Amino acid sequence: MADTSPAPNEAAAPLIAVRGVHKHYGPIRAVDGVDLEIRRGELFGLIGHNGAGKSTLFKMMLGLIPATAGEIRIDGTRVGGGTGGEFRAVRRKIGYLPENVVLYDNLTGLETLQLFARLKSVPPTANLHLLERVGLEQAARRRVREYSKGMRQRLGFAQALLGSPKLLFLDEPTTGLDPEAIRGFYAILRQLKSEGVTIVITSHILAEIQERVDRLAIMAAGKVQASGTVQALREQMDLPLWFSVRVAPADFETVRAALGHLPVGAVEARDDHVAVQCRREAKMAVIAALAGLGGTVLDLSVHEPSLEDVFFGFSD
């Protein structure tokens, strides 16, 4: 029996529900029992080492390869379930930028979009607008052969946006983009998000992901090791925080003495500040002790562990 019935409470239900999904290639467990929920309208990051299983999971969510076991539902419809017709309708509202997008060197940017539009049965009317959106309007009539790596990546992104998808899967979309282009790219994602588009993105550039995603999942060896907001993952890992306390060099010892009774870790004198490591639960007590020093403290900043720290904590 085709099990394509929508979830009972559609609005509250996750847009993507991955339940107990495996993908095995002989002895290789590319994806090894993944459970994951992605909510409507969120920008969701998937991070992991090379070979962690991110692209394989993407391909299964898109219905490009079948799962060995488990079930994926998008908008209540089972990917690859039933006769396939129900998922085809959902698939039409999904845009995909693969890790290595295949482009034809002899076509221009505009012709490339026309070709993809035909393949997707999308009216070709908005193609120039899409090239404009990704910053390629000047190169629309140049052959892809002459495109830089970053320009090819933008063209790949433009094809993913054909047909105004409500869900986007972007596999390492910022590869080859310079810092300005990365900013521009995330500005487009914010705009899409404000239009209600759900976006799932993989990246190896953790500093870039850290500030931009709503939630993320860390994959290692085919499994989701942790998922949540960056802050929730920090708290779950229980990594220490760092304070930078700027004081005159003559006051370094005063700071050390003021913190002496607190459960702080390293207290290190640097050039023009004292670096103090402390556990999260001691944070407010450290702030109170430093406030007690009055004008001795010239400046103060608190540094949360980076996503990179969190990532290595979960994936090593």
| Nearest to ligand ATP of 175, 254 (CB atom) | 175
Residue 285 Cα to chain centre, angstroms: 34
Residues that bind ligand ATP (CB under 6 A): 25, 28, 30, 48, 50-56, 99
Q: How far is CA 128 from the centre of its chain?
A: 28
To ligand ATP, the closest distance from the beta carbon of 204 in angstroms equals 7
Query: Residue 52 or 134: which CB sits closer to ligand ATP?
Result: 52
To the nearest whole angstrom, how small is the minimum distance from the Cβ of residue 169 to ligand ATP? 12
CB of 202 to ligand ATP, least distance (A): 7
Query: Which of 210, 168, 176, 213 lies closest to 15, judged by CA?
Result: 168
65 vs 285, which CB is nearer to ligand ATP?
A: 65
3-state secondary structure the chain: CCCCCCCCCCCCCCCEEEEEEEEEECCEEEEEEEEEEECCCCEEEEEECCCCCHHHHHHHHCCCCCCCEEEEEECCEECCCCCCHHHHHHHCCEEEECCCCCCCCCCEHHHHHHHHHHHCCCCHHHHHHHHHHCCCHHHCCCEHHHCCHHHHHHHHHHHHCCCCCCEEEEECCCCCCCHHHHHHHHHHHHHHHHCCCEEEEECCCHHHHHCCCCEEEEEECCEEEEEECHHHHHHHHCCCEEEEEECCHHHHHHHHHHHCCCCEEEEEECCCEEEEEECHHHHHHHHHHHHCCHHHCCEEEEECCCHHHHHHHHHC
**Shorter beta-carbon distance to ligand ATP: residue 225 or 296:** 225
- To the nearest whole angstrom, how small is the minimum distance from the Cβ of residue 148 to ligand ATP? 22
CA 194 – CA 42 distance, rounded (Å): 10
Closer residue to ligand ATP, CB minimum distance, 34 or 267: 34
Nearer to ligand ATP, 29 or 283 (CB): 29
CB of 201 to ligand ATP, least distance (A): 13
Report in angstroms how near the CB of residue 176 gets to ligand ATP at its nearest.
14
14 vs 222, beta carbon nearer ligand ATP: 222
Q: How far is the CB of 52 from ligand ATP (least distance, A)?
A: 4
* Residue 72 vs 282, nearer CB to ligand ATP: 72
Report, in Å, the least distance between residue 210 CB and ligand ATP.
18
